[in-house]
Structure 1
Amino acid sequence: MRKELDNTKATVRLRKSAYRKEWYLYIESYPVRVAGKDTPQRVREYLNRTITTPIWDKSRTARTTEATQTFKPKRDLNGIILCKSEIDQEACIYADSVRKLRQREYDNASLYSDTEIAQAEQKERLQQNFIKYFDKVADKRHRNSSVSIQTNWERVHVLLKMFAGDTLLFSQIDNRLAEDFKFFLLSAPCGGSKKGTISRNTASTYFSIFKAALKQAFIDGYLTIDLSAKIKGIQEQESRREYLTLDELNKLANTPCERDVLKRAALFSALTGLRHCDIQKLKWNEIAIEGNQAKLLFTQKKTKGVEYMPISEQAFKLCGEPRQSEQLVFEGLPNPSWISRPLRAWIEKAGIQKHLSFHCLKHRKFRKYQLTNRLV
């Protein structure tokens, strides 16, 4: 709620029915500040009353066309519309009584203190739908984020609707509701064609997203308390992460892959520790040669941090022949969602019996020796 303009005027008006010889009574107020609108609005409030016998003032024309001429209704000294019928006159008197109430509300609005206005605005925000707000926050914060991050936010949005329905008011959100949602996530179903419930670590990720949305709601003024700081997250289970030994990496290097760019990028990740998203967007103008040393100078997509990283001669050779400065180094490298199948086929072809993702390659424990690693 925003403070109404001081000169708002409420007036009883008539609107002709399109099908019958009768007129609807309504109150028109202008100018009025309306939430979500930058300019003053004309607000119409219909009173569920109609009249059929208004008296027209032939000296005051209203909207007139070449075919028709209309007039404004005649009013008494108090501004009440005059009618021939007693029943219609009572309806007009009722309409004017409602108009007086609305006028008083607009007049009193200018007398509100700053505290009262702030309280009224907060009360209005508490009646907003958190689930719709969550969707807007996801779009605003992660429009340019990775597909996996966007998918996680979309999944939490779906689970919120499963938990609370289409509407969850900010006024309903408190510690107890957050705890209830936490327990709901611990037994929430998997998405898509997968069966069963999500893992504890996935539930932990989803609940962290929920807390991030609560934090943003506090910053934006929808919540008066920072609930995200008061709510404990879901403890993750320690998971065993697979990684390659140096011998296994050599096996991969000596095994053909159906996608050459995938092989080069995977080995490059193992030798440099770069993420898939950073390798995928790496351009030739982000590689510099100083003396005999190749170096990377780029901005990480995930952390937005600037990296200045020397790389080994072998890692540089995996980049291929230098091309135009704005061209991608690993042009044609598939997105994560399309990389799993050819990567798994390549690993199995090398005789390695481990469940490895592209992400696992950069966690290889030998990567701190990246300047001296040599694959046979």
Structure 2
Amino acid sequence: MRKAKATKVTLRFRMLTTGKETLYLDYYPGIPNPKTGETMRREYLGMYVVPLKKRTGELQTNKDGSHKYNEEDAETIRLAEIIRANRQNELSKAEIYTEAEAELLKAKERSKGDFIAYFRDCAKDKKESNYNNWMSALKHLQDYTKKSDNTTIKRFCDIDLLWCERFRDYLLNVRTHRSDKVVLSNNTAAAYFLKFKIALKSAYKYGYLPKNINEDLKGIKEKESRREFLTLDELKRLVETPCTNPVLKRAALFSALTGLRHSDIRKMKWGELGEDNGKFTLKYTIQKTSKYDELPISEQAMQLCGERQKPDALVFDGLVYSAYANKALAQWLGAAGITRDVTFHCFSHIKSYYSLGTRELQKLSD
């Protein structure tokens, strides 16, 4: 709250040639005229009084030097003083509280915004695979809002802890969008709910929520999951099995030979791959941690990259994270006789699962 300006309102009297006094308010310093916007010092009230006179014609005065008036004029002055006091209060209130009240008004307007739309905007800031995960979480949030509130929007001011906790319970029991017979896995529900909590925290930070609900909202605890690994025999079969998406196949095998994640392989550029005396090195920034790293690349892994292109060209141009790519991966695995739930991420685990010097692994691409 800022300090009040020293705007003082004084009731003054101005003697007219008719012998009457006109009453006006004196503002110091001046204030903006509500009609013209220009600075004004005086506001005439349209009220008049007549000072009492002695028989000699001189004006009667009180001990403090002020003029004397009859009862009717004294009442007029009293009303003028009430107007002065009101003006003073209005000015003082405006000067002291304008900024605070303006901020409260802005906060009130923000609180009427749609949290669902805000969540969607949060998702737009994410990249590819993470974006898809946010959008999946958004779809469940929309379904829950429709079920709980029978609407497609959720105002920030209508969000409370109970509504958030019920969304958590909803995720733990809801079916997946791909199958109405399969319940969302615990860890997937935990991932979606974490994004929900992140959006709540962000909304509070930027003034859309008056309270940090996220602080009191417990998340979903992830369960330790079994990590899937492909065997060397399975990898050999995959090498020999055609894939409808050739760039996906090359990238998956490259991941198996290097341990690189999908996100790092996807953004690899030829300028990051260097050669010195027949030895290859990838100099890159890890997307997940934003840390710089230099990784030795085997000759077999380099063969999967294809012919060298311009420095700014993507090594695995066309590699994307999408439902189409996931379907192609599943079909490739199925054609190789692999029926387990294997994702692209499983390929990056292979190099750490087996000894880094395993010759069979290095010869997979031969």
TM over 0.5: yes
Task: Quote the residue 1:374 is aligned against.
Answer: 362
Equivalences for 1:262-341 in 2 at 5 Å?
A: 262-341=248-327
Residues 256 and 351 in structure 2, CA contact (< 8 A), matched pair in contact too? no
Q: Is residue 2:180 matched to residue 1:180?
A: no
CA apart distance, 1:272: 1.4
CA apart distance, 1:183: 1.5
CA apart distance, 1:285: 0.6
Q: Distance in 1 between matches of 2:128 and 2:351?
A: 31
- One-letter identity of the residue aligned with 2:132: S
Residues 312 and 371 in structure 1, CA contact (< 8 A), matched pair in contact too? no
Q: Distance in 1 between matches of 2:191 and 2:344?
A: 20
Structure 1 gap segments, 5+ residues each: 1-5, 12-29, 32-76, 79-100
**SS of the counterpart of 1:308?**
strand
Structure of larger gyration radius? 2
Partner deviation per Cα, 1:65-101 (whole Å, 9 max, x = no partner): xxxxxxxxxxxx99xxxxxxxxxxxxxxxxxxxxxx9
Task: Quote the residue 1:237 is aligned against.
Answer: 223
CA apart distance, 1:171: 3.1
Q: Distance in 2 between matches of 1:244 and 1:196?
A: 25
Task: Quote the residue 1:154 is aligned against.
Answer: 138
Query: TM-score scaled by structure 1?
Result: 0.63
Task: Quote the residue 2:34 is aligned against.
Answer: 9
CA apart distance, 1:217: 1.2
Q: Distance in 2 between matches of 1:374 and 1:264?
A: 14
Q: Distance in 2 between matches of 1:282 and 1:291?
A: 22
CA apart distance, 1:195: 4.8
Q: Distance in 1 between matches of 2:263 and 2:198?
A: 23
**SS of the counterpart of 1:238?**
coil
Equivalences for 1:99-248 in 2 at 5 Å?
A: 108-112=93-97, 115-139=100-124, 141-142=125-126, 146-162=130-146, 163-164=148-149, 165-191=151-177, 194-195=180-181, 197-248=183-234
Q: What is the percent sequence identity of the aligned residues?
A: 39
Task: Quote the residue 2:340 is aligned against.
Answer: 354
More helix by share: 2
Give the CA RMSD over aligned residues. Answer: 3.5
Q: Which shifted more, 268-277 or 343-352?
A: 343-352
Q: Distance in 2 between matches of 1:255 and 1:157?
A: 40
Structure 2 gap segments, 5+ residues each: 1-30, 39-44, 47-85
The number of residue pairs the alignment matches comes to 283
Q: Distance in 2 between matches of 1:142 and 1:106?
A: 48
Q: Distance in 1 between matches of 2:116 and 2:140?
A: 10
Query: TM-score scaled by structure 2?
Result: 0.65
